[in-house]
Amino acid sequence: MTIPNDYLERVYAGVLGKLIGVYLGRPFEGWTHERIIRELGPIDYYVHDRLGDPLVVTDDDVSGTFTFIRALEDYGISEDLSAADIGRAWLNYIIEERAILWWGGNGNSTEHTAWLNLKKGIPAPQSGSIAQNGKAVAEQIGAQIFIDGWAMVAPGRPELAARLAEQAGKVSHDGESVYAAKLWAAMESEAFHSKDINHLIDTGLSQIPGDCLIAQVIADVRAWHRMHANWRDARARIAETYGYDKFPGNCHVVPNHAIMIMTMLYAPDDFQKAQLIVNTCGWDTDCNAGNVGCLMGLMHGLEGLEAGPDWRGPLADRMLISTADGGNSVNDAVRMAYYITSLGYALAGKTPLSPPKNGARFHFSLPGSAQGFRPLVGFDANAGTDITNVATEDGRALAVRYAALAPGQKATATTPVFSSPELLKMRTYDLMATPLAYPGQTVRARVMAPSENAGTVTVALMMRHYDGNDRLVAVEAPGHVLAAGKETILEWRLPATDGQPIGELGLVVRADGRRADGTVLVDYLRIDGTPDMLLQRPAGDGDFWRKAWVNGVSFFSRNFPASFRISQSEGEGLIAHGTRDWSDYTAETEILIHLGNHAGLALRVQGLRRYYAVRVTRAGKIEIVKIRDETVTVLAEQDYDFAFERPIAIAAKVEGRTISAVVDGIAIKASDDSAEAFADGGIGLVIHEGAVSADKVSVRPA
């Protein structure tokens, strides 16, 4: 089948549907139907605030779904992508006990069990097989909850979607769990071309054995749907026949798959009703609601999401993806939709979409998109501030509307570029993240004032960074007067922050001497250039500066005199800072190796197992190495008089394909001319089975 003309927008709706479902069901995950009815009632809208939770949180359903598809980017855009390659992506992006998975213990958590197998050198698909882990462990729900991305990169190609979902599922699961994953992926792929739920189910069934348990479950649920007009009666039949008490393990795929199929039969064209049913039924609510939400988004597009209550407003496109690639962690549905769509075009042998507005990070090009921007609430904020997405002559823009904006008041819109203070309220899943914006980079925004505005305003870029008490403090750029009918390009080089991370970027609008009513249109906001900054322990007792480093070591302490003291118990570990937007730069530090086989400075970090490093070895060498999955390639080396507890100055530079450094006055240089050369990524400190410390790390343009 051909890629549909509305492919991008349908993927966007699918991503949003997934996020809405996950964040709706997350606060009461694992509850029974009876407890939900007793304590919450039917779930017809978000309930996070009733349970004291943030809306947007780290969750395995989101992190895994939108991370594992990166194997296509990392190992070649191919329909033949293997489980082994996806397993390698697990080892690169997943941080033990911290990122993506539920770390419930070997034999308890299926994903944790599979990850331990991968770590021990047992490759996928053996890592997730029944032969390796037993039937009960292998047939829990996890293969199903991560499949949406594989369907979205294969629109209208259910066989391919099922094959990719099978390879991904077999990294950690087997048997009925993988059948469920294949079936749902095929349904979602076919949903690009059909809204007939029975056709979609039949399409999914065509991808799995007719005599498997999942096929029997679907036959039973279809029969119960024909027998009972009320979904509650069908749910009772599922609980009686396929309930949690009928299967081993804590979260078996079969009961939850039955609930998902039942939901789609009773609410094939009503997003809110589908979410009400799938969530009110209970059990693994965030997983089930996320898969159902994605399928509904793909079937009915943005119009289907908007037919009921305002699901999108509170979400504002926000998503969190906790991985070892920290620059991908604070993300949004628009950016992810473009990423998935580009993979889908490439997989189909077609030219991917050009990045909107010359690659601006925030471009608001999809209907209703906000990309995380929300009004900032405060004592001097304008109560009438409202943010919407509007069509313009140039495409679409973010409209910051203000009413009765008086002198002394401001209308402010900001978007997160790092972890929010709500991070401290999140439970179960850690967020590994690094900021998207840094001192020395330049922020630019095109802003416009419609001709019907009443009054002149002053418009300025702004940021909020953390202080020594882990509070966000605002810093504004010089303002520009913006009269009705005019436009301007705001430009600001981000100032130093004493090593504190920048948490938000945005725009502030002030009345220019008298009351103003109107709108400022933001066409785009972009972040350009290489950071120019010094990273060190800032003043105060806060901890967000340390949380701004991806923690991939056994121990990252704040209780030593040096700013950065890391220790690794087994193998190589690293802490990393920065994003894939960094390409050519210079990084400098002075390290003290307290114990270990080698330690040094990592460059162009793209996860735990993809980076360059300039390192000093206990065997008496200075090395430039390339780490790529299981392979360590020494690109250059020099002899070195090694000693513990001696300061070692490292000044390294990456420029194009060249990696060069001066280590204690000794120059070393290498070039990576391979097809797998790393073109971008942040910096890090590495240590192999020991401890290393550094007090300062600087990053500058090359």
The pLDDT value given to residue 424: 81
State the average pLDDT over residues 75-96.
97
The conformation of residue 423, written as its DSSP 8-state character, comes to G
State the average pLDDT over residues 312-316.
97
Per-residue pLDDT band for 1 (boundaries 50, 70, 90) equals low
Say if residue 208's pLDDT is above 70. Answer: yes
Say if residue 319's pLDDT is above 70. Answer: yes
The pLDDT value given to residue 378: 75
Say if residue 383's pLDDT is above 90. Answer: no
CATH topology classification for 374-528: Jelly Rolls (2.60.120)
Q: Cα dist. 168→67, 117, 248, 277, 634 in Å?
A: 11, 15, 23, 28, 32
- Length of the chain measured in residues: 702
State the average pLDDT over residues 378-385.
76
Q: For 624-635, how does the pLDDT look when each residue is reduced to its tens digit (9 = 90+)?
A: 999 999 999 999
- Residue 549: CB atoms within 10 A of its CB come to 27
Per-residue pLDDT band for 607 (boundaries 50, 70, 90) equals very high
374-528 and 549-701 share one CATH topology?
yes
Can you spell out the DSSP letters for 596-639? -SEEEEEEEE-STTEEEEEEEETTTEEEEEEEETTEEEEEEEEE
Per-residue pLDDT band for 2 (boundaries 50, 70, 90) equals confident
The pLDDT value given to residue 381: 76
User: Residue 529's closest CA among 581, 580, 576?
Assistant: 581
State the average pLDDT over residues 413-434.
90
Q: For 458-493, how does the pLDDT look when each residue is reduced to its tens digit (9 = 90+)?
A: 999 999 999 999 999 999 999 999 999 999 999 999
Three-state helix/strand/coil letters over 110-178: HHHHHHHHHHCCCCCCHHHCHHHHCHHHHCECHHHHCCHHHHHCCCCCHHHHHHHHHHHHCCCCCCHHH
Domain boundaries, the chain: 7-326, 374-528, 549-701
d(CA 294, CA 13): 7
Which H or E element spans position 286? helix 285-305
Q: For 271-312, how does the pLDDT look when each residue is reduced to its tens digit (9 = 90+)?
A: 999 999 999 999 999 999 999 999 999 999 999 999 999 999
Quick one: 7-326 is in which CATH superfamily? Answer: ADP-ribosylation/Crystallin J1 (1.10.4080.10)
The pLDDT value given to residue 379: 62
Say if residue 428's pLDDT is above 80. Answer: no
d(CA 292, CA 21): 7
State the average pLDDT over residues 108-116.
97
> Do 292 and 187 meet the contact criterion of CB atoms below 8 Å apart?
no
CATH topology classification for 549-701: Jelly Rolls (2.60.120)
The pLDDT value given to residue 430: 87
d(CA 119, CA 319): 28
Say if residue 382's pLDDT is above 90. Answer: no
The answer, as to whether pTM is greater than 0.85, is yes
Query: What is the average pLDDT score of the chain?
Result: 96
